[in-house]
Amino acid sequence: MTAFSAVDVIAAKRDGGVLSDEMITWMLDAYGRNEVAEEQMSALLMAIFFRGLNDHELDTWTARMITSGERLDLRGLSRPTVDKHSTGGVGDKISLILAPLVAACGAAVPQLSGRGLGHTGGTLDKLESIPGWRATLSNEEIVEQLETVGAVICAAGAGLAPIDRRLYSLRDVTGTVEAIPLISSSIMSKKIAEGTSALVLDVKFGNGAFISEPDRARLLARTMVRLGEAHGVTTVAKLTSMSAPLGRAIGNALEVTESVEVLRGGGPSDVRTLTLELAVIMLELVGLDADPATALDDGTAYEVYRRMITAQGGDPDAAMPIASLIEEVPAPRSGFVQSIDARSVGVAAWRLGAGRARKEDPVSATAGVMCLVREGDRVEAGQSLFALHADDDAHLDLGREAITNAVVIGDEPPSLDDPQLDLVRA
């Protein structure tokens, strides 16, 4: 292949040009060989942030990230494969419930997940609060667990889309996370490489999501659906609001506890509702006629969850860790809760210790926020709005400061509309 100059590729996109297949392939491959410097790839990412990629450029970019590593082969499984991916949100614990639920209905769910960054939590961080549970599995272990249990939630192996692994970290420190071509290629390269035959995308919008505007979220959804279908993965996206926290628990161990409540037939209604909506779509995509609500209520999904945790070294009966400091936040006045700002709550949980500012930062298993009220609730002055969980006074002070203005209280009940938008299909 003809060697290009990294500067020429950067300049071409900076000036609004279209990158050829050869330019994209050379740039990504050379970066993988450390022949393109980090600052040069950073410059190209910023050029893409402002100039975008057309469909053909994005197809080539995504395909090269997939072929930069191995692909998991799940064709030998006795169950149909279907996965779900969320673009992330505050209190978004759906994967912990959904994977065993859909497995209980007859599918195999290969949930290769990530860690949290900033104000949104990571599925692996949550599960690692369970004593003994391990996130890292070999490809052989993944396939075996899918066959015997039906569900696996683990870290993507180093061999899957390795260039994306590097670009993901680079995007985070260069202010290019929100670029739709870069988000979509990152998500879809990993999901296509994991070998699933069908995929449901939960694309969040609102002030607690990476993309706040519904129109941009819909564009992201359409882009990812097109990429999935182009690579042979039946893909559907659902757009859901992330303006208020999902459920009551925000934080690693707190969210595991709440997920178990839902798996045992209880838990917050919004978590249960979204889980069931996504489960119905997933089962439809792989042609399984089963009622996920029954599997939640009769304990079948909970038993699959227990087997999934046990298979990965965890103890599903172990007591979850609890923070050493818990402080409640009182309402400043009486009235009706008009809104609960998801981003403020997420930032508070992060500053309490539940999240990280850099990928290498440790997280606290016990830190987080419990939302004690919901939008529309009547509250009295001094009534507790939140319970802040922290391991030390310094983190508690940071969390208290971040959540000060998270709730708006008014004199009249608010109008609560359903903010969810339509499905996006190919």
Query: Which of the residues are catalytic?
Result: 85, 164, 171, 186, 190
Q: In 234-260, which positions are buried (b, 16+ CB within 10 angstroms) versus exposed (e)? A: bbbbbbbbbbbbbbbbbbbbbbbbbbb
Closest CA to 24 of 53, 67, 60: 60
Q: How far does CA 5 lie from the centroid of its chain?
A: 36
Q: Which of 122, 101, 112 is nearest to 74 (CA)?
A: 112
In sequence order, which ranges of 6-161 are alpha helices (DSSP H)?
6-14, 21-32, 38-51, 55-67, 94-104, 123-127, 139-148
C-alpha dihedral, 85 to 87 to 88 to 89, nearest 10°: -120
Q: Report the C-alpha gap between 344 and 405 in whole angstroms.
A: 8
Neighbouring residues of 140: CB distance < 8 A, sequence distance ≥ 6: none
- Pick the closest to residue 95 from 226, 245, 235, 200 (CA basis): 200
Tokens of 245: 């926290």
Whether 388 contacts 348, CB under 8 Å: yes
Could you tell me the CA-to-CA distances from 7 to 19, 29, 38, 47 in Å, in that order?
13, 15, 13, 12
- Please tell me the distance from the alpha carbon of residue 393 to that of residue 324, in angstroms, as a whole number: 10
